[in-house]
Amino acid sequence: MEPFIKKIQQINTIEGAIAELKTQIEITPKLDEVINFSIGAHKEQFRKSGEPYVVHPILVASIAARFSNDEDIVATALLHDVVEDTKYHLDFIRDKWGDNVAHMVDGLTKIVEIREHEKVSSKESNSKLLSSALTFRKMLVASIDDVRVLVVKLCDRLHNLMTLDALDRQKQISIAEETLVVYVPIAHRLGISSIKNALEDLSFYYIYPKEYEKI
């Protein structure tokens, strides 16, 4: 998994991201259409690192494709931020790519909504932050009726951890700590040990950088 992570971390262009996705899954006409749509939908958006935002969903799709050759899971990964971050609505996705993809995209959008509802300021005590994270995890698991949604979310969180260098130190620690409390146990429960281990290693790197280097 580590060589794969290092390779993903070095990709910051749309062309590079698509090339990586092609190494993980055959690009069917449906996936080709979704890729082009996603590029257009996110064309005015950029990440804090300065790279085109669409690089993120394409690489999340690449990670998802590494664990599943389900075309709809990969399509969902490509579309996972569309409803939240662009002008397109869920009905558009349903009309274009069917109920299955729309259902998963809706599940991922609900996760964002749940997180916003449970968000606690970083100024709160550690116990309050931990309590909020645990509540978020319980609500997340209880509200998602399709395990594939959780798989895509884990891939999304994994790529976010791979690209934390663009954020400030406090934000890095906050995301890494939430990952350990919320997403690592879900990966463990789903039996995806490679994602679980990668999430733990990357979180440890940001929370305890000196100890990480020693090890």
Residues annotated as catalytic are 84-85
75 burial via Cβ count (<10 Å: 0-12, 13-18, 19+): buried
Copy the structure tokens of residue 205.
């790197």
Residue spans of alpha helices (H) in 80-192: 82-85, 90-118, 126-143, 147-162, 169-178, 184-190
Copy the structure tokens of residue 72.
């709809």
* Measured distance CA(145)–CA(126) in Å, rounded: 30
**From the centroid of its chain, how far is CA 93?**
19
